[in-house]
């Protein structure tokens, strides 16, 4: 078996446990079915493109992007645990190189991102069924969002895990960063109508671009702006992945 495949199998085995899968499904369900319907008393509907969405449909589509980001945490956690428990050194002593290790992490977060997006799409489908507009771009956009989003946020998690040495520092920084990504974005509410400083902050957040691409695929609202957002996501993911790769390549044993 190829070394990268062996490492991917190892990563998936330790990552896709019952606790993780429950977290990946139950946590978004709480937002979609509890928060989504509870907030309809405050937000009855949301304007999106040339249509009006019920708030549960809006947040259900946003949770697809949110879950892609959330699943990318796996990359940072794997690297952190490998460093903490001495597995990184043991892996490199075996028939594996740093390149094998890096590629296996990329494939792992890509696979988990696709699984996560599929689960939430299936769960949220009944909510945005009436507004859905599948076309020939739908699947390519969802796959693009899953893969590129996983690499982007997985790279951020990897960078954090390579730069910090204490468990407390790692947990505080990674949770703070991803909390910012989650709530200062269009995953939960639209930028239009928000206070100007907040709406500007939305577009300094890559999750906003990721969620916009997902919604464009589901609701058939692909336009020039979404194409620009896709270009931004690709540029950011390549840049952050390059940084993460260099840091991993220089990581001391």
pLDDT (tens digit per residue) in 19-40:
776 776 777 777 777 777 777 7
141, 217 in Cβ contact below 8 A? yes
> Contacts by 171-178 with C-beta closer than 8 Å and gap 24+?
174/73, 174/76, 178/69, 178/70, 178/73, 178/153
pLDDT of residue 253: 58
Tokens representing residue 150 in the block: 């996983």
Tell me the chain's radius of gyration from C-alpha atoms: 18
Structure tokens that stand for 114 in this block: 């696709």
Structural domain boundaries enclosing 55:
3-249
Residue 139 CA to residue 220 CA, distance in Å, equals: 11
**Structure-block tokens of residue 162:** 């390579």
CA atoms 98, 102, 107, 109: torsion sign: positive
Supply the pLDDT for residue 37.
78
Predicted local confidence at residue 1, as pLDDT: 63
Alpha-carbon span 153 to 215, nearest angstrom:
19
Report how far residue 106's alpha carbon sits from residue 151's, in angstroms, rounded to the nearest whole number: 6
pTM here? 0.86
Number of domains the chain contains: 1
Express each pLDDT in 60-106 by its tens digit.
Answer: 888 888 888 888 788 888 888 888 888 888 888 888 888 888 888 88
Q: Which of 134, 210, 135 is nearest to 178 (CA)?
A: 210
- Cα 60 to chain centroid distance, Å, stands at 15
pLDDT tens-digit profile of 193-244? 778 888 889 999 999 999 999 999 888 888 899 999 999 999 999 999 999 8
């Amino acid at each position: 078996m190829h070394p990268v495949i062996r490492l991917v199998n190892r990563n998936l085995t330790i990552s896709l446990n019952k606790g993780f899968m429950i977290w990946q499904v139950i946590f978004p369900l709480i937002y979609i079915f509890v928060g989504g319907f509870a907030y309809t008393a405050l937000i009855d509907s949301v304007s999106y493109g040339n249509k009006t969405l019920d708030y549960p449909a809006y947040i259900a589509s946003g949770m697809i992007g949110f879950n892609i980001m959330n699943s990318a945490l796996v990359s940072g956690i794997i690297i952190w645990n490998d460093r903490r428990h001495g597995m990184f050194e043991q892996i490199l002593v075996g028939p594996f190189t740093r390149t094998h290790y890096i590629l296996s992490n990329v494939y792992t977060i890509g696979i988990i991102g696709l699984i996560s997006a599929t689960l939430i799409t299936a769960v949220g489908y009944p909510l945005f069924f009436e507004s859905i507009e599948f076309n020939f771009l739908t699947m390519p956009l969802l796959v693009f969002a899953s893969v590129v989003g996983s690499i982007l946020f997985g790279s951020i998690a990897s960078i954090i895990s390579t730069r910090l040495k204490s468990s407390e520092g790692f947990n505080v920084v990674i949770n703070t960063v991803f909390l910012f990504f989650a709530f200062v974005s269009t995953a939960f509410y639209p930028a239009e109508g928000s206070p100007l400083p907040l709406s500007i902050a939305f577009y300094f957040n890559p999750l906003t671009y990721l969620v916009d691409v997902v919604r464009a695929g589901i609701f058939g609202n692909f336009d020039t702006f979404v194409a620009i957002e896709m270009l931004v996501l690709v540029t950011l993911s390549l840049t952050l992945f390059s940084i993460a790769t260099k840091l991993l390549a220089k990581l001391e044993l």
